[in-house]
Chains A and B, each alone.
Chain A
Amino acid sequence: MAKTIFKWDYSDYPGAKIYPHLFKPIQIGNLIIPNRIKYTATEENLNGLDGFVTDQGAAYLGERAKGVVGGLCFMQGVYMDEARMGQGYVGQAAAWDDKFIPGLKRLADAIHDARAVAGIQLMDCGRVGAVDVEYGHGPSAVPQRLRIFRPMKEMSKDEIKEMIQQHIDAAKRGVEAGFDVMEISGIVGYLVSNFVSGYTNRRTDEYGGDIRGRMQAVVEIIQGVKTVIPEDMPLGIRLCSEELLDDVRGNTPEESMESYKIAEEAGVDYISCTLGWQESIYPVISRDIPMGNWIHLAKRAKEHVSVPVSMAYRLFKPGLPNEKIGAGELDIWEMCRPMIADPLMPKKVLEGKEEEIRHCVACNLCLARLFRDAPMTCYINPICAHEANPEFAAPPPAEEEKEIMIVGAGPAGLECAYVAAQRGHEVHIYDKRDEIGGTLNEARHAPYGDDELWTCVEYQKVMCEKAGVNFHLGTEVTEEVIEDEMPDSVVLATGSVYSKLEVPGGDSDKIVYLADVMSGKAEVGEKVVVWGNRKPGIGCALHLAKQGKKVTLAGKDKTAGFDVNPSFKWRYMIYMRQNGIVAYNDCEIVEIDDAGIVVKTYDGYQWPIKCDTIVLADREPNESLKKAVQSEGIELFVVGDALIPRNLSSAVHDGYRIGMRI
Chain B
Amino acid sequence: MPVDAEKEITRLWKALHSAQDEIGKTYYRWRQVALEFAGDDVKSLDVALRAAEVFGKDIGKSILPRMNWLKGEEGFMMILGKTLAGLWITDGGLATVEKGEDPGEIFIKCTRDPWPTWAKEFGVPMEEVAICRERMYQSILEDVSVFMNIPLKIELQKAIPRGHGETVMRLYKAE
Contacts and interface: CB of A to CB of B under 8 A. Distances in A.
Looking at B3, B12, B61, which has the most chain A CB atoms within 10 Å of its CB?
A: B3
Given A143-B64, A146-B65, A606 B8 contact: yes
A189 B173 CA distance: 28
A600 to B, nearest CB: 9
A598 B64 contact: no
Contacts of A593: 2
Interface of B is mostly: helix
A602 interface: no
A141 interface: yes
Contacts of B148: 248-249
Given A246-B69, A247-B69, A249-B69, A607 B3 contact: yes
B151 to A, nearest CB: 12
Contacts of A598: 1, 3
Give the size range of B's interface with the partner. 20 to 34
A598 B8 CA distance: 12
Contact of B70 (A147, A202, A246): A246
B69 A607 contact: no
Contacts of A145: 64-65, 67, 147
Contacts of A160: none
A247 B149 CA distance: 12
B68 interface: yes
B5 A605 contact: no
B68 A247 contact: yes
Contacts of A281: 68
Contacts of B5: 608
B12 A605 contact: yes
Nearest to A140: B146
A144 interface: yes
Contacts of A147: 61-62
Interface string A130-170: 00000000000111111100000000000000000000000
Contacts of B68: 247-248, 281
Contacts, number: 50
Nearest to B143: A143
A146 B66 CA distance: 11
A605 B69 contact: no
Nearest to A604: B11
B2 A608 contact: yes
Nearest to B62: A147
A504 B70 CA distance: 50
Nearest to A608: B3
B147 A143 contact: yes
A598 B2 CA distance: 8
A109 interface: no
B123 to A, nearest CB: 34
A411 to B, nearest CB: 36
Interface in A260-302: 281
A591 interface: yes
A248 B71 CA distance: 11
Contacts of A141: 146
A147 B11 CA distance: 35
A592 B68 CA distance: 43
Interface in B125-160: 143, 146-149
A136 B156 CA distance: 35
- Determine which residue in A143, A146, A199, A248 has the highest number of CB atoms from chain B within 10 A of its CB, and name it: A143
A117 B5 CA distance: 70
A249 B147 contact: no
A607 B70 contact: no
Nearest to A151: B61
B11 A605 contact: yes
Q: Which residue, A147, A199, A247, A504, has most C-beta atoms of chain B within 10 A? A: A247
A75 to B, nearest CB: 33
Interface string A594-620: 000010000001111000000000000
Nearest to A245: B69
Contact of B61 (A143, A246, A247, A591): A143
A202 B149 contact: yes
Contacts of A146: 65
Interface string B52-91: 0000000011101101111000000000000000000000
A146 B65 CA distance: 7
Nearest to A590: B1
Contacts of A144: 61, 64
Contacts of B3: 598, 606-608
Interface in B18-69: 60-62, 64-65, 67-69
B41 to A, nearest CB: 31
Which of B60, B62, B146 has the most chain A CB atoms closer than 10 A to its own CB?
Answer: B146
Nearest to B9: A605
A640 B148 CA distance: 48
A143 B3 CA distance: 48
Interface string A473-507: 00000000000000000000000000000001000
A187 B75 CA distance: 30
A248 B67 CA distance: 7
A246 B148 CA distance: 11
Contacts of B11: 605
19 contacts: A142-B147, A143-B60, A143-B61, A144-B61, A145-B147, A146-B65, A147-B62, A202-B149, A247-B67, A248-B67, A248-B147, A591-B1, A605-B11, A606-B8, A607-B3, A607-B8, A608-B2, A608-B3, A608-B5
Interface of B: 1-3, 5, 8, 11-12, 60-62, 64-65, 67-70, 143, 146-149
